Structure 1
Amino acid sequence: MSHKQDMYINSDEIVNDDIKLEDYQIRNKILSDKDATESNASEEITTNKLKPAVSSTGVYNMEIYAKYYANPFQKFLIYFSLFVIYYAYGLDGNVRPTYQTLATSSFNRHSLNSTVTCINRVTSSAGQIWFARASDIFSREFSMVISILFYVVGTIISSQATSVAKYAVGACIYGIGHAGIVLLCEIYMADFSNLNWRVVAENAPMLPAIINTWVSGNITSDLGSKWQWGLGMWAIIFPASCIPLFVCIYHMRYMAKKNNEKIRKIFEKPSEIAWKKYLIDIFIWKLDFIGLVLLVAVFALILVPFTTSGGLHREWNSANFIVPEVVGWVVALPIFSVWEWKFSRYPILRLDLISDRGIYSALSISFFIQFCLYVNDTYLYTFLLVAVDQTTKSGTRINSLMSFVNVITACCLGLFIVKIRRTQIFIVIGCVSWFVVYGLYVHYNGGLGSRSGIITASCLSGFGYGFIKSPLKASLQASSNSHQNLAIVTALFLAIGNIGTAFGAAVAGAIWSNLLPHRLEKSIGNVTLADSAFDSPIKFIKQYKWHTAVRQHLVSSYGSVWRILNIVCLVLVIPMLVSSFLLRDRKLSNSVAYDQRDFSPTDCEEENIGQDRRSYIGDRYAKFRVLRERIFK
């Protein structure tokens, strides 16, 4: 028998030697940890303990709080509190794209819709990494308060904007707050759920999307063109929705203190360090403020010019496009790379995390799924109104159908995953389904007959998204191993997704602004009308009804550009599918994180079986596995 076969204690030997179950579990845990270390070179499985990026006051406090909200009713209170928050920001998310389209159209700069989305997502990606680290260093509730402030201030600025530039500033501030809210809700869900229940736990509070899909259309229809109030009301509604969660958190804190638990303070400065040095260490180094600013600069300089340089008067050869691109590629990107690799003490991209196949493949899918989604979604609402002759209510509802189907699919799938405890096969199925989705979008490219096809594609898109997004997140969190790493890998997942969204908006904006104006000019035959149709299509279609010749020329031009956008999406699904085959199909344990899993006899027997199989195959196959893992790594 080989050395590795001897390392595990067989269940039959336990019976024969009359060893107690507790000793069996403890010894197998020790031996499995030892075995994981030895087999790391050959299998590169992620059971090694990854060191946390920063000190984790937030994790420490939440683990104490969770002990006092452990029974089903108390967990229900947490989930209900998160349900209220999801309902509020989910409904806001459903109606805000409609109001953003109305706002940019009212400023006669509709084509800059993609620019606003791009800037919003770039800043959001940096914001999520910052909030992840802040939630660990300070506390979850402190980060939540900061997120709400950004959310409210950004919403107020956008609602009172008198130009597209002012609206974009507000959208950026709102985007940072929204990114923090989304991330912290994800972290709270992870803190109070086990890995095998993670998909259900994350999607159950999102069930309001089932209602919001239909309500959002009524709201946008009733408010009409009053986009200022449509945005501004969320500065009041959303903070109110967060009150139940804060009540629960502070009730946990009260019970912990009542039982003499040691709760760490938000700012717990060591006595031997001066305040100035402490603040520099926290905000400059641990939160990597410089790295985050450089990250925003890199993607803003590279992506935003693509969304602004088209139109009837192209600017691809002008300094407005060339200078930001040169600065982004030649200056900002090298500086960011040097800072992260040479100077940053806590880099944004930690090699010990992202070098694992289970993590980098999940991040790759997160990037491409959002990239693909927003190439299509950025101008979907406009396309529905202009080229499919839908009303504001109908357009908003169709635009929200994907969320509706996604939530139902993910919740039902999550119940299967509780028992199956595997995710990879579902992710592969989801990726394959998206080939059909964008094939339908390519085929249905305008006209009244396209309505049913687009609705079918939106529903199938939600089905595929439900099979991909939440299972992928659970797989990623299982690969991170530690509760200490949970917040940062979740933030990376969402941040990479936001960067993918920014790329999608940039590509959509470049194609839209580069191709559509000249096709409008060619089909309509009037430069003035073409300029009006491009800059303010919502106003334009009120004047030129569906059966007019000018409107039909408009539909034809929109359809040709829409087809190109979705061909790009079809191509982007390919790397998604390839990455899905590289994922680790790790069994989801009945614990918050993989390092906290229980070593039951059944689990140990399963690991023993796998170990025996590897030993049986022999050394030559093991060498082949090492070579294969290195190639894919």
Structure 2
Amino acid sequence: MSSQEYPQQAPVNDKEINEKDTAVADPSSADSDIEKEPVHKQDGVSRVEAITSVFTKKALWITFVLLYLCLWSDSLMINTQYALEPYVTSAFSQHALLATTNVMSSIIGGVSKLTIAKLFDIWGRVEGFSLAIGLLVMGMLMKAACENVQTYAAAAVFYWVGHTGLQYSVDVFTADLTSLRNRGIMFGLNATPGIANIFAGPALAEEFLYKNGVVSEFGWRWAYGAFCIIIPVMASPVFASFFIHSRKAKKLGILPKRNTGRTLPQSIKHYLIEFDVLGMLLTSAAFSLVLLPLSLAGSQKDKWANGSMIAMEVVGVLCLVGFFAWEKWFAPVQYLPFKYLKDPTILGACVCHFAMYLAIYTWDIYLSSYLQVVNEVSVRDAGYILNSYSLSAFIMMPITGLVIRYYTKPKWIALIAVPLMALGTGLLVYFRHPGTNVGYITMCQILNGAAGGILSVIMPIMVMASVTHQEVAVVLALHSLFASIGSGVGVAISGAIWTQLLPGKLERYLPADLKSEALTIYGDITVQLSYEYGSPARDAIVQAYGEVQRIMVIAGAAFVPLVLLSILVWRNLDTRNLKQTKGTVF
């Protein structure tokens, strides 16, 4: 961005950080109810403040409802596709690659949020929202039409970038339309569509998947195709609301005009620098290449003796080193805003988000398969049990937001989540074995979900309370990036354990006449389910599943203490008198 348009933020030194910390952390000071704003604001921030200034109270609440409906359709989509995913990879006899496809999409989805955040601040909120919807629809179309697992993996990346971008967009819209004190309430309410959709999604997936009691070849394709229509239709009213009010602000002369004075080549060069495309590519390549071999090596003939696995690790590490060197010495505009990580509250919230997702995703990705194979439950019921985590979280989130409204020091509320998470994950170690009643697994899911719901509201509130409105979009993106890396690492660990251990255990426990079929059974959940429950073959599969899943849960439990340590470093911020937003807000 040129200095004539939006002056770049000056580097922040330790003195400036300490001054800002004092101003924000001490709500009793005379200036604590006034936002420490930069003299210049980027165009996206200025435009949204101009738009919200012409909102009436009625228009504000209509916009909240429209955003809620958009999240409702996204929630239904995500819960439906979670139930379908094992069957899509199994359609290509690559059930074990469930983890691999999720590693790529998680990492790239997280990295992309910082780019979307810059787009939000430089171009505008609606433009970023439009990009997210476009990428999501593209990914769903590719999933519906894919003919091999490679195309499906590429589609998963587009889909996940769009899906996380959509959720992130609504979070930023909500931040723009609320005061800091009430923001937790709206964040919590925005999660409640999941309460219905955790039941509707698996049931809808089952309706698409089965035809006359048999898995349909095209069922999951129709499901993805349907959401290519549903999502844009539900998002259209949000576009209309912001378009109408932007025209109103323009007529009143309060909407900033866009006139860069640059030619097309100059604009291309400008945005390549501003979005730090090289930094983004290096980050995506580094984490993907380091984590992918963990889930891929087990499916290779020579495992870690395969040269390509070692090469990916080496290149990934070199990309990571290159990224830090580029950002420190060469990047005109830094992609990763390191200055915010000097704030203990922002750093602690980011690490907490990373650890929470890491602990859960080390065992979550194969839970649906485990429930169907080991506990003999249907696709729908497996989805219900899996989503009991989400149900618990979605109930706790608005309650947490309401508590923050009246008890305005969120740090101490966050500490309540730690024993819930420790208990939920610890009990899973005991209950994750064949023969356990699914009720105990559901109980653990509920405990973990309650912890996740509390933290999911408080963590973004803490990072936003540490900055001005100008910086809200970028710190939310930074916070989300750590969650994506955490889930990527967790899924990679999960995939590594699954691919390294399950084939050998299947070969060990399967009857002699089926040992040659071990890899075929390993690669397809429909083949696993085809053996009658109680038969020697099914008993062997169940035993192998139980032993591998228990190791996964132990790995996840090892990261729970990091959640506690990361919360303890937060400053004890009081949200009561911190003012960020302008215009008509809640």
Query: TM-score with structure 2 length normalisation?
Result: 0.90
Selected match of 1:156 from 141, 146, 161: 141
Per the alignment, residue 267 of structure 2 pairs with 278
Deviations along 1:513-542, one digit per CA (max 9) or x if unpaired, are: 00111111111144333222210023321x
Distance, in Å, in 1 between the alignment partners of 2:455 and 2:20 is 30
Residue 86 (structure 1) aligns with? 71
Instruction: Give the counterpart letter for 1:422 in structure 2.
Output: K
Say if 1:419 and 1:309 are closer, same or farther in 2 by CA, change over 3 A: same
2:470 aligned with 1:477, yes or no? no
Q: Tell me what 1:100 maps to.
A: 85
Structure number, greater radius of gyration: 1
1:410-445 CA distance string (max 9 Å, x none): 101211110111111121111221111112211112
2: distance between equivalents of 1:502 and 1:38?
Answer: 31
Counterpart in the other structure of 2:440: 453
Q: How far is 1:448 from its partner? A: 4.8
Equivalent in 399, 411, 414 of residue 386 of structure 2:
399
Q: CA deviation at 1:250?
A: 1.3
Counterparts of 2:319 and 2:41 in 1: how far apart (Å)?
A: 29
Q: Which has the higher contact order (CA 8 A, sep 6+)?
A: 2
For the pair 1:576 / 2:563, whether they are aligned, the reply is yes
Match of 2:7 in 1: none
Partner of 1:13: none
Contact 1:54 1:133 in 2 (8 A): no
Matched to 2:284, the amino acid is: V
Question: How do residues 134-533 of structure 1 correspond to structure 2 at under 5 angstroms?
Answer: 134-224=119-209, 225=215, 226-265=219-258, 268-269=259-260, 271=261, 273-281=262-270, 283-311=271-299, 313-329=301-317, 331-480=318-467, 482-525=468-511, 526-533=514-521
Q: Distance in 1 between matches of 2:197 and 2:431?
A: 26
TM superposition shift of 1:45: 6.2
2:24–2:578: 8 Å Cα contact kept in structure 1? no
Q: Which moved more, 1:37-46 or 1:410-419?
A: 37-46
Q: Which residue of 2 aligns with 1:63?
A: 49
8 Å Cα contact 1:53/1:346 also seen in 2: no
Give the drift of 1:594: 8.8
How much has 1:50 moved relative to structure 2? 8.3
Q: Is the 8 A contact 1:54 1:136 kept in 2?
A: no
Comparing 246-255 with 451-460, which one deviates more in the overlay?
Answer: 246-255
Deviations 1:220-249 (A, max 9, x none): 121124111122211111011101211211
Alignment of 1:590-629 (within 5 A): 593=580
The letter of the residue matching 2:188 is: N
Deviation of the 1:37 alpha carbon: 7.0
- 1:35-74 deviation per Cα after TM superposition (whole angstroms, max 9, x unaligned): x979749969668998879961111011111112252x22
Q: Please tell me whether the aligned partners of residues 381 and 395 of structure 1 are also in contact (alpha carbons under 8 angstroms).
A: yes
* Offset of residue 349 of structure 1: 2.6
Contact 1:99 1:231 in 2 (8 A): no
**Shift of residue 491, structure 1, vs aligned partner:** 0.5
Secondary structure, counterpart of 2:571 in structure 1 = coil
Q: 1:118 aligns with which of 96, 103, 124?
A: 103
Contact 2:80 2:201 in 1 (8 A): yes
| Residues 243 and 39 of structure 1, relative CA distance in 2, 3 Å threshold | closer
CA RMSD of aligned residues (A): 2.3
Identity of aligned residues (%): 23
Counterpart-to-counterpart distance in 2, 1:308 and 1:153: 26
Shift of 1:345: 2.2
Query: 1:424, 1:390 → 2: CA distance?
Result: 40
* Residues in 1 aligned to 2:579 and 2:457: alpha-carbon distance in whole angstroms: 16
Q: Is the 8 A contact 1:477 1:593 kept in 2?
A: no
Take 1:338 and 1:78, find their aligned partners in 2: how far apart are those partners? 43
* SS state at 2:238 partner: helix
How many residue pairs are counted as aligned between the two chains? 552
On the 8 A contact 2:433/2:550 being kept in 1, the answer is no
- In structure 2, the gaps of 5 or more residues are 1-14, 27-31, 210-214
CA contact (8 A) 1:312 1:531 kept: no
Question: Structure 1 323/234 Cα, relative in aligned 2: closer, same or farther at 3 Å?
Answer: same
Contact 1:312/1:517 (8 A) holds in 2: no
